[in-house]
Structure 1
């Protein structure tokens, strides 16, 4: 029997759209802090706030976007979000102060929160049930490619052509995302009323968090506090250490190692369990951050990227998988939303905090202390998940024996 087709025009369209949305996200993530410091003459704390404001807007928007999708439909929310992203990208030419840029970032974050929520809901409808794992794997790959190419492209354009060209390309990418989105057609599905959804899932529409996913989501948020400082300020750190010629490649090495390792670590997760993967990944993440703190050569700098990619790139999807596994099957979508919302909150707080601390302490010292903070995360993971999970397993075994 032939497999149902995966690579339809609609799936390709949504994949391209997702790739461009995340490419522009990472494109601006690494370039705007430099732009704020050099051209708008902002402080380190204000540079960190640029990312924090964006993510706060995204976090606040997601629950309302989810409700809007239920009432108005996925396609309307999807196209509206792409229009907001395109408008925000065009307006980057206007702000001439940090306060103006922060207002625009908040508006842009609203569009990003809407878009990621709508895209995630749509792609699940487009992938055949029998090829869900394969389809979601390719869908996730578009995010990883955006994470790799966005920073490299952004830093290259910024330093060789200037910020004006940088903003033009950013606007064009957002417009291309809108065009790709217009070609996506959704399969016709029965729209359930709120009462039907509540009856089938036991979940009230007003409920925005899945309780079972909160503990492991808090673990992810703890590590996001640190990772945000790496991804938001590594380009500034590279400039301070005369490593700008390889700064963009930091994310390429990170993503390549992540993509190569993920198939193996995913299988090991299934065979040996989460703890066998996550504990070594945390240590690897810590070692990579330590190497980053002492990087004075291109080799050390890119080696740290590889270890951080292997460590955090393994820990993050593993924690996300746990969040989905601990939730009832009918609440896995809510568990995923819970995980990303709490993670983004940690990321936003970390970026802002890192910016404040970096104004008083050099980046190398911060990364040095962060490497030990990551090791403390082993205890956080044990207390919030491993210990509780082990007790649950013991209780199940005792129940079966009795």
Structure 2
């Protein structure tokens, strides 16, 4: 890179970028602490397997339903106000869990918590998209995504340790405190609001107001990978029992470690060479990781599978989000993020249900993971078709 190009590049590590990333880290750490502990708490209250499953399912459904409306609100009402409302809902709901000894009330609170989560994460993703310089979008999204990865790697273990040592109410206290700190730090986010485009005389359809058409392609690709990820996080423990692997925690540790390493690298590659240089190798590493996982019978082979999968997962997700933002108009980034994150929620939910049914039919979690590689082949076919379509549209006028 020449000296002139370096001078033209806008700074990435601004105060707004750091504060937004910190707010995201605190929110995700608060949320991830509850993932393994709330189901355990439900079981201790006498809940059955269905009720334990509803704890996750209700949250996912409410978050999925909320995101399109949150995206629309972000584009109409402004980023910061919507973000603060979402964070306040999360903090109040987590604090409320402490006063609920009836499972029905906890399930109702999970629905409300999912609304706050859908608003907050969609808002933070839109705010960071406004802050990151366009020419450094891949790099910026890669670094921003590290806050999610760091929380996913440490928060569940931290939550379980606190619960086993001090009890579930202490988990809720710390989780609430983290959500409040996320809300407090968000008060200091300042950035220049994107200039809105001129309004069209024709009123757009409701579906176009809630969903962003330019985000459908990267969201479809994300859906494929999210279904695979849903199958991993839901059934990896049961697969460990099937394969005779005593500690499947190595998968999450190695996967998160590789994601932390690869995201900044692939982000720069995305900015300099384009999405195909990240998405195609990422898909191949994901397929390799899934296949190695399906044949794993030792902790070492599980770790190797996790490293390969981590390269693929760590490359694809931030690249798709950066691509989503790049394709959307500035005044439609809220709707674009709502569409993108909805695909992620839907994919994880489908992964738990569809791949679970597949495992039930095949009688093997290993076969389930091998079959799930077909989703990444669909990913490659969709991207290949879109790439050929764009290339053809560029070539045809030259004839």
- Asked if TM exceeds 0.5, the reply is yes
Change (3 A) 1:101 1:290: farther
C-alpha distance in 2 between matches for 1:273 and 1:341: 24
Given candidates 55, 62, 68, the residue that maps to 2:73 is: 68
Secondary structure, aligned partner of 1:198: coil
Tell me if 1:186 matches 2:190. Answer: yes
Counterpart for residue 62 of structure 2: 57
RMSD: 3.9
C-alpha distance in 2 between matches for 1:94 and 1:355: 34
Counterpart for residue 3 of structure 2: none
C-alpha distance in 2 between matches for 1:255 and 1:10: 25
Q: CA deviation at 1:124?
A: 4.2
Change (3 A) 1:36 1:290: farther
Native 8 Å contact 2:122 2:334 kept in 1: no
Between stretches 89-98 and 324-333, larger displacement belongs to: 324-333
Native 8 Å contact 2:236 2:248 kept in 1: no
Q: Where do residues 156-235 of structure 1 align in structure 2 (5 Å cutoff)? A: 156-182=161-187, 184-187=188-191, 189=193, 197-199=198-200, 207-234=209-236
Q: TM-score, normalised by structure 2?
A: 0.80
Deviations 1:50-90 (A, max 9, x none): 33322221222223223333444333222222211111111
Given candidates 29, 34, 37, the residue that maps to 2:35 is: 29
Counterpart for residue 258 of structure 1: 259
Deviations 1:238-294 (A, max 9, x none): 6888877662x5433212201212344445556776556544433433443344455
Q: TM-score, normalised by structure 1?
A: 0.79
Secondary structure, aligned partner of 1:251: helix
Deviations 1:370-395 (A, max 9, x none): 32233212441244331242133124
Q: CA deviation at 1:329?
A: 7.4
Deviations 1:207-239 (A, max 9, x none): 222324324422321331221132245456668
Q: Where do residues 305-320 of structure 1 align in structure 2 (5 Å cutoff)? A: 305-320=306-321
Counterpart for residue 17 of structure 1: 23
Tell me if 1:89 matches 2:91. Answer: no
Native 8 Å contact 2:37 2:159 kept in 1: yes
Secondary structure, aligned partner of 1:13: helix
Q: CA deviation at 1:18?
A: 0.8
Counterpart for residue 351 of structure 2: 350
Given candidates 134, 141, 146, the residue that maps to 1:141 is: 146
Native 8 Å contact 2:224 2:379 kept in 1: no
5+ residue gaps, structure 1: none
Secondary structure, aligned partner of 2:35: helix
Q: CA deviation at 1:158?
A: 3.5
Count of equivalent residues: 392
Native 8 Å contact 1:279 1:378 kept in 2: no
Q: CA deviation at 1:343?
A: 2.4
Q: CA deviation at 1:14?
A: 2.3
C-alpha distance in 1 between matches for 2:267 and 2:14: 26
Counterpart for residue 301 of structure 2: 300
Secondary structure, aligned partner of 2:209: coil
Deviations 1:11-61 (A, max 9, x none): 433222110111222222344344445654421x54444333222212222
Deviations 1:310-352 (A, max 9, x none): 2222233344445455556775664443222222222223334
Change (3 A) 1:83 1:377: same
Counterpart for residue 373 of structure 2: 375
Secondary structure, aligned partner of 2:210: coil
Change (3 A) 1:379 1:79: closer
